[in-house]
Amino acid sequence: MSTASLPDKPALEGLEAKWGPVWEEQGTYRFDRQAALDAGPDSVYAIDTPPPTASGSLHIGHVFSYTHMDLAARFQRMRGKNLFYPMGWDDNGLPTERRVQNYYGVRCDPALPYDPDFTPPFEGGDNAGSNKAADQVPISRRNFIELCERLTVEDEKQFEDLWRTLGLSVDWSQTYRTIGDEAQRVAQRAFLRNLARGEAYRADAPTLWDVTFRTAVAQAELEDKEMPGAFHRVSFHRPDGGTIEIETTRPELIPACVALVAHPDDPRYQPLFGTTVRTPLFGVEVPVVAHHLAQQDKGSGIAMVCTFGDVTDVVWWRELDLPMRPILGKDGRILAEPPQGIEGAAAAVFAELAGKTVFSAKARIVELLRESGDLIGEPRAITHPVKFFEKGDKPLEIVTTRQWYIANGARDEALNARLLERGREVEFHPDFMRVRYENWVGGLSGDWLISRQRFFGVPIPVWYRLDENGEPTGDPIVPSEDMLPVDPASMPAPGFDESQRGQANGFVGEVDIMDTWATSSLTPQIAGKWEDDPELFGLVFPYDLRSQGQDIIRTWLFSTVLRAELEHGTVPWKHAGISGFIVDPDRKKMSKSKGNVVTPAAMLDEHGSDAVRYWAASSRLGTDAAFDPQNPKQMKIGRRLAIKVLNAAKFVYSFEAPAGAAAGTDAVTEPLDIDMLATLGEVVATATRAYEEYDHARALEVTEQFFWTFTDDYLELVKERAYGSQGAAGQASAVAALQLAIDVFVRLLAPVLPFATEEVWSWTHGGEGSVHRAPWPTVAELGVEAQHGGLLPLVSEALIGIRRAKTDAKASQKTPVTRAVIAGPALLEHAAADLAAVGRIAALSFTPADEVAVVEIELGELPEA
């Protein structure tokens, strides 16, 4: 090898900008379809990549988990697999709408006409607009969607730049958007097939409702927040003049009360089952009933059932066949009209509540209860969990709406059992994450609500016929699959024209869109172009790997398994790699809501991409990683490692490699060199096995540990021989071993440090392509077996002893030694010349001992030659 290709001073700076464009130009990470067709599906390794939400900025958690995925991808590519590694953008749904509202200072009003010349009042920053609805300019649905499209495209460009800087080895020619035509076609096709098989249906039902976003919320999107509240002890009136006292945190729902419920085994209330009581203030007669979910030790042991206070109310309403008496509107305010049974003076009381928020209504009804004497004592302050939409800032309410659902096994035992079985077919990494999936499947309480009362998303592809009175009637009208994608809000139903929209005997289009997870649950089908490109889909499905965070097992992972089971009767992928959370120095999960998120761009600029990747690679799957932006120790260690790779490689490749028959493993003849390569072979075997088991942290750990032994000890021991101090044979052996080892180390570290290793590879293999297309190292290519197993550790220990002896003598490490005696195994004599050379020892002898120690050292000038 010519040394002319070596840089004067290797540096990490600028490597991302240097190699990123080269990889793109050369198609280093491009999926080779023809090669896959020639070799068959088994030659393909397909990854179902998480499409990040394109509504703001990526955070350090993204960098963490996406690096884990990329480590597996790079390893499999070097093992000879043809990687199908796409990238998607999840650009529809509530997060995008909220960002557009705040960014441009607008809000959507579907009643307004389209303005082709509309210019938003604000542009250019998240803080330029307004997050107050009253300050936002109302615009048409179409204008609003156009702004969503504009902003997500800008965000996606920034995301792609960051992913490229990080060195993700995705195939950028395989990119999709969940709002794109291809994704919409897949999502609508799957929905229509669900509908045809009876798996999708529309029903009136109590629905968790976010009053801020005015949309339904699915079970998977809930989170509990601890909120202050109060128990109010309230009297209900028995026919005999007595009372029953209940405790409630929601007295404003008394006009919605339909029953009192107690546990069937509670002796206090058993005599009252089957009787009735009247509600305070409103005098509505309601039954006293029994149900096992009532808690005897909570409050007074008897609770009021309302339409609807919480999800338990819904269960009681359904299982006890109770009437419905709703009082809350979709805006979170008390309805103007009282429910059935509230008449006369009671109606006047209700009128005082009409139009109020639940908070104002609660305050007024407490006053009224106090005045009537039905409030017993004063409210008792508590803190309790309250359900929120995960992206919302107000407690959820439960209102009755007509929504679309997909069966998910909550009410179908056979489907539930199949989904549990599919979960067992997937190999979870780590395996203990599987229980989170199983717990979710086992705890489902209702089918998957997929309709959303929003604007930017995949339209639900149905229309409804109108009768002579203009009322919807009959089954939905559906498009043929060759019409997809369709937007029923702006396209006429098949067999009708636009003039018949909303007219008697005409049609009306569905205005709801699909929940974003209803599209994201089909990422394997979207990326693989299901039905649109059967050849490609046959090569990649089922995929090999789904890589994701643990917090979306219940949403993305479960829903993807569900859709694959319903449509294909199989698992969507063979392996699921689950990353842990990033936590701050106080071990709190980093999240936007907590305000402790670190954005990655500055981190990459400061430390370099290889250092950031090293930090991520140091954590095993499923393990939380602490990160302190003020003291990023792991990144500093990673940067030091990457720099050492550059410098060690330059030093090793500065020697002319042995030529001819003496090149390669044939030139390695010295026991110390053979032992080093044999130990490296063990590292290769261990690292390979670790990557095969999705344990990238173990692979990095064993590689890094031996790399530092190689540079700090072995290289120091043999460099004098490499310079030729022991003759041609000794020099050839040292140089060949050094360069064989560096060549292997560079490939072992390539998944973690793609930029530094590519730089090194280009110095010596410039005409052979990228290191990331090079074969993964094998034990066989080292061509050696340890003849003196354990020699290198002994020599390393002896070297440490020599250095310590010089330090104890207050001498420089460069001080010549006239004579040294080392107590240690006779095996050390195989490396006597290297020890003498590196220790500047004129005469070196050994005495038998089980352990290595320098027992005597005489300092002085070396005798003249």
Report the percent of the chain where pLDDT is more than 90: 62
- Look at residue 210 and give its three-state secondary structure: strand
Range with the poorest average pLDDT among 85-89, 203-207, 673-677, 806-810:
203-207
Give the predicted TM-score (pTM) of the model.
0.83
Average pLDDT over residues 576-598: 73
Task: Please report which confidence band the pLDDT of residue 661 belongs to, taking 50, 70 and 90 as the band edges.
Answer: very low
* Bond from prior residue into 793 cis (ω within 30 degrees of 0): no
Q: What pLDDT does 823 receive?
A: 87
On the question of pLDDT at 865 being above 50, the answer is: no
Instruction: Determine contact, residues 854/799, Cβ cutoff 8 Å.
Output: no
Query: What does the pLDDT read at residue 626?
Result: 83
Per-residue pLDDT of 450-496, as tens digits, reads: 998 888 889 999 999 999 999 999 999 999 999 999 999 889 999 99
The model's confidence at residue 371, banded by pLDDT at 50, 70 and 90, is very high
pLDDT band at residue 230 under the 50/70/90 scheme = very high
Secondary structure class of 814 (helix, strand, coil): coil
Say yes or no to pLDDT of 564 above 60: yes
Residue 863: which pLDDT band, with cuts at 50, 70 and 90?
very low
Give percent above pLDDT 70 in the chain: 94
Does 778 score more than 50 pLDDT?
A: yes
Beta bridge partners of 230: 381
**What is the residue-averaged pLDDT of the chain?**
90
Q: Is the pLDDT of residue 663 over 60?
A: no
CA separation, residue 381 to residues 298, 374, 430 (Å) = 15, 18, 43
| Predicted local confidence at residue 787, as pLDDT | 65
Cross-strand bridge partners of residue 381:
230
For residue 391, is pLDDT > 80? no
User: Looking up tokens 């120690």, which residue turns up?
Assistant: 853
> What is the predicted pLDDT for the residue at 597?
57
Q: Is the pLDDT reported for residue 346 higher than 90?
A: yes
Provide the pLDDT for residue 364. Answer: 96
Q: Residue 797: pLDDT above 90? A: no
CB 462 within 8 A of CB 477: yes
Q: What was the pLDDT predicted at 589?
A: 65
- pLDDT at position 590: 57
User: For residue 458, what are the contacts with CB-CB under 8 A and spacing of at least 6?
Assistant: 92, 178, 179, 183, 184, 187, 188, 485, 513, 514, 518, 519
Specify the pLDDT at position 808: 86
CA dist list (Å): 728 to 548, 652, 666, 669: 54, 17, 14, 11
Render pLDDT for 588-632 as a digit per residue (tens, 0 to 9).
765 655 555 567 888 888 899 999 999 999 999 999 988 887 788
pLDDT score of 600? 82
Rg value, the chain, Cα: 35
Is residue 756 predicted with pLDDT exceeding 80? yes
Q: Give me the pLDDT at residue 711, please.
A: 96
662, pLDDT greater than 50: no
Q: 504-552 pLDDT, tens per residue?
A: 999 999 989 998 899 999 999 999 999 999 999 999 999 999 999 998 8
pLDDT at 287 over 80: yes
Going by C-alpha positions, the residue among 87, 91, 88, 89 that lies closest to residue 168 is: 87
pLDDT attached to residue 659: 67
Query: What pLDDT is recorded for position 388?
Result: 85
Q: Who's near 276: CB < 8 A, 6+ residues apart? A: 239, 285, 286, 287, 288
Residues 415-433 have a mean pLDDT of: 97
pLDDT the model gives residue 666: 81
| Listed residue (321, 219, 216, 221) closest to 261, CA to CA | 321
Residue 658 has pLDDT above 90, yes or no: no
